Amino acid sequence: MKLNNDNVKIFESSVGNAIDELYETIYSNKIDFLSLDNFAQDIKLNSAGFQVYRTLLYDQIFEQQRRQSSLFNSELHQQLMDNGFIEINNFFDKDVFSKIEKHYFQSKRKFNTRNGSFNFPIKFNVASKGKLQEVVKLCQADQEQNLEELYMRQIAHCNPSEKSEDSRQYRFHYDKFYPNYKIWFYVEEMTLDLGPTACFVGSHKNSIAKMKWFHDSSLNVTTEWSRASLSITNYLEQVEERTGFSDERILTGKPNTFFIIDTRMLHRRTPAVSGKKRFSLRAILPRIKKNEI
């Protein structure tokens, strides 16, 4: 499948090769160019720009398939394209939010003595919430998608210098090379002292600088994709140099605030006092291989 003209320009500017050579290699060797694997374990293929091609192609497919969404060209779609996330205040109506709030605080009281980060063994059914489902369909570029439930999660902050999975979350990182979504829904106010998620606005976009970074990373197949390894304290200059983006946003919010975030953005957990707990309702949307269009 071929890239459109705009994406060809990004490809050739970031890789330094003409794309026709890569097309020929892909088609003659019947390579699965829609695989969700983080990297192809083939240095010759990666040298030809395969990682950049896949990244640009998935974005192109998603946007084409979003044309079927009722929210295509809406203000929410524009938020997604410009920012890499959608923020909606007062997301649920008062009656629905009141029920969620009651269930949430009952659950929080029941498990308030537990330490560490964990998912509560409690679900919040949202299958009938049409507004939520339309947002999910837009983001996933799939009219068959339906989100059944949100789960409740406790994050217990630790020292970022520790060697643990929790401490690694304080480093800016990408999750995947293709559009990939997580939901945060705040039942209580999310303030800076709770250490909410932060991201660089627009860094989901496939800038030439970012594609050069992806290309260089693909040439080292031992690279750990999901952690871009940007330092915790000296990251602003690195982000702008590698992606061209510099607008950091910390996702605070009032009760009944909804965020859905494309985790292709550089994002992280912001540090807070060790032992501090934060709570939210969450969902991770399924990672589904796309078909050609």
* More confidently predicted of 56 and 228: 56
Show the tokens assigned to 252.
Answer: 């605070």
Specify the length of the chain in residues: 293
Average pLDDT, the chain: 91
As a whole number of angstroms, the distance between CA 240 and CA 232 comes to: 15
For residue 103, give its domain range.
74-205+245-284
In a domain, 277, yes or no: yes
Q: What is the pLDDT of residue 112?
A: 81
Asked if pLDDT for residue 250 goes beyond 80, the answer is yes
In a domain, 48, yes or no: no
In a domain, 174, yes or no: yes
In a domain, 129, yes or no: yes
In a domain, 8, yes or no: no
Average pLDDT value for residue range 60-77: 97
Asked if pLDDT for residue 285 goes beyond 70, the answer is yes
Strand 277-284 with 149-156, pairing: antiparallel
Strand partners, 188: none
Q: What is the pLDDT of residue 221?
A: 62
Q: What is the pLDDT of residue 106?
A: 94
Strand 85-88 with 257-262, pairing: antiparallel
Sign of CA dihedral 115, 119, 122, 124: positive
Q: What is the pLDDT of residue 168?
A: 83
User: Model-level pTM?
Assistant: 0.92
Average pLDDT value for residue range 143-154: 96
Chain position carrying tokens 């990004």: 10
pLDDT above 90 as % of the chain: 69
In a domain, 217, yes or no: no
Of 266, 138, 139, 150, residue with least CA distance to 197: 266
- For residue 116, the domain's CATH number is 2.60.120.620
As a whole number of angstroms, the distance between CA 128 and CA 125 comes to: 8
In a domain, 154, yes or no: yes
List, for residues 175-193, the tens digit of each pLDDT value.
899 999 999 999 999 999 9
In a domain, 127, yes or no: yes
Q: What is the pLDDT of residue 113?
A: 82
Q: What is the pLDDT of residue 164?
A: 79
Give the burial class of 121: count Cβ atoms within 10 A of its Cβ; 0-12 exposed, 13-18 middle, 19 or more buried: exposed
Tell me how many domains the chain contains: 1
Q: What is the pLDDT of residue 244?
A: 87
As a whole number of angstroms, the distance between CA 288 and CA 286 comes to: 6
List, for residues 230-239, the tens digit of each pLDDT value.
666 667 777 8
Long-range contacts from 21-28, C-beta under 8 angstroms, 24+ separation = 21/48, 22/48, 22/49, 22/50, 22/53, 26/50, 26/53
